Homo-oligomer: A and B are copies of this chain.
Amino acid sequence: MINFVKNQLNVKAKKEINYNIIISEDIFNSQNEVILSGGKKKESRRFIIIDDFIYKLHYEKIETYFEKKLIKTKIISLPGGEANKTVANYLELFKELNDYPIDRRREPIIGIGGGVITDIVGLMASTFRGSTPHIKIPTTLMGYIDAAVQIKTGVNFGDSLNRMVCYEPPYTVILDKSFLRTLPNRHLINGIAGVLKLAVIKDSWLFEYLERYGEEGIESKFQNQPGQGILNRTIVGMVDELQANLYETVLERPLDFGHTFSPVLEVDSCGDLLHGEAVALDIAFSIVLANQLELLSDSAVDRILRLMDKLNLPYYHFILKPERLWESLLDQMRHRDGFQRVPLPTMIGGCIFINNITYENIVEACRGLEQIYRANGGGNADQRELGS
């Protein structure tokens, strides 16, 4: 029997998190019920938010699927892209959902799209009636290997990226790599930045695999065996990291690699840089910084930059300015309780956390990276080429 003891009463409970990441194919074929598993079926309702590009390609199939199953739907299409990850969109969709509406626990909200869409859907699910189940179906590479498998959801708040954020475990994540077939090349490369992040920071096997099969995987839009191999290995690595620290109670996160300096790059580029491109620039900058701090060898830096070049990842951009990179670090320190806690690689596949980076270090690393870039006669990192 609980009671006050010395004027104090302790409330204790456990919340179990348990969700499946399921690889499936042809998910809108009427034989495939993975999208309905667990929820109420006949005569039920679904609220679906879908990337507008994907919707244009697949709307007939999707609508027919639910009609055949006698499930009513409200489908709202939304353009992807960071500029749409706004409080305004979240509120508008929340209103649509509330007007529709759905049952609280057995008619999951479904998000089909890139990280922007699945992140908004997750926030809606977290805040609608205090948690409604949601299903995430990523259609971009970055969504597939990163955003959709996480429990972190949210929107930007003005210039503050991912500031209005909730942890909300999905009901299910459904991975259908056929969506990647229609992804523009630039978006494939954008996603590869997330794969590279994981490879550098914790998985030398994945790094070597990328060296050997990366180009081929991208070439096939991840439809061939090496492509699937890269996807699976990355997700397993992600889940391995996430599961141990799902609510980010530990603020030293290897997954923060590439995310200390990139936020200002995304903001400063005014939408010109995709998230993964900014992460790639952060990775390039961070490895040069790690090298100058005598953490990472010349040969490792060289190997990483060669791989980035091979995979067409940008590694330099005139937007890299020491003052702004420093400001980004200071802002991230609020997020990391006053410490820098910057993950920096000590080798390919391993990292430590650094707390004593100075402004001078940043100036020097910036200069170092630019020199490498100039020595290679520019590269694929020039802004004009990014949009191509």
Alpha-carbon separation in the docked complex, A365 to B225 (Å):
67
Q: Is the interface of A mostly helix, strand, loop or mixed?
A: mixed
Alpha-carbon separation in the docked complex, A163 to B126 (Å):
11
CB within 8 A of A21: which of B8, B16, B335?
Answer: B8
Residues from chain B with a CB closer than 8 A to the CB of A157 are 94-95, 98
Q: Are A9 and B236 in contact (CB under 8 A)?
A: yes
Residues from chain B with a CB closer than 8 A to the CB of A169 are 11
Interface size on A, residues (CB 8 A): 68
Interface membership of A167, Cβ < 8 A:
yes
Output the nearest chain B residue to A172 by Cβ-Cβ distance.
Answer: B8
Q: What per-residue 1/0 map shows which CB atoms of A299-341 lie under 8 Å from chain B?
A: 0000000000000000000000000000000000011111000
Alpha-carbon separation in the docked complex, A154 to B9 (Å):
24
Q: Are A20 and B8 in contact (CB under 8 A)?
A: yes
CB within 8 A of A338: which of B14, B17, B103, B149?
Answer: B103
How many copies make up the complex? Answer: 2
Q: Are B15 and A9 in contact (CB under 8 A)?
A: no
Q: Are B160 and A98 in contact (CB under 8 A)?
A: yes
CB within 8 A of A129: which of B4, B12, B128, B163?
Answer: B163
CB within 8 A of A334: which of B10, B104, B131?
Answer: B104
Alpha-carbon separation in the docked complex, A338 to B164 (Å):
31
Q: What per-residue 1/0 map shows which CB atoms of A5-40 lie under 8 Å from chain B?
A: 001111111111111111110000000000000001
Interface membership of A41, Cβ < 8 A:
no
Interface membership of A208, Cβ < 8 A:
no
Q: What per-residue 1/0 map shows which CB atoms of A241-252 lie under 8 Å from chain B?
A: 011001110010
A192 to chain B, nearest CB (A): 20
Interface membership of A240, Cβ < 8 A:
yes
Residues from chain B with a CB closer than 8 A to the CB of A11 are 17-21, 149, 169, 239, 242-243, 246
Q: Are A243 and B13 in contact (CB under 8 A)?
A: yes
Q: Are B15 and A14 in contact (CB under 8 A)?
A: yes
A176 to chain B, nearest CB (A): 11
- A94-125 at interface with B (beta carbon < 8 Å): 94-95, 98, 101-106, 123
Q: Which residues of A contact B (CB under 8 A)?
A: 2-4, 7-24, 40, 87, 91, 94-95, 98, 101-106, 123, 126-131, 149, 152, 154, 157-158, 160, 163-167, 169, 232, 235-236, 239-240, 242-243, 246-248, 251, 334-338
A-B pairs with beta carbons under 8 Å apart, 10 shown: A10-B21, A11-B243, A13-B246, A98-B163, A103-B338, A104-B334, A123-B127, A126-B166, A127-B154, A166-B166
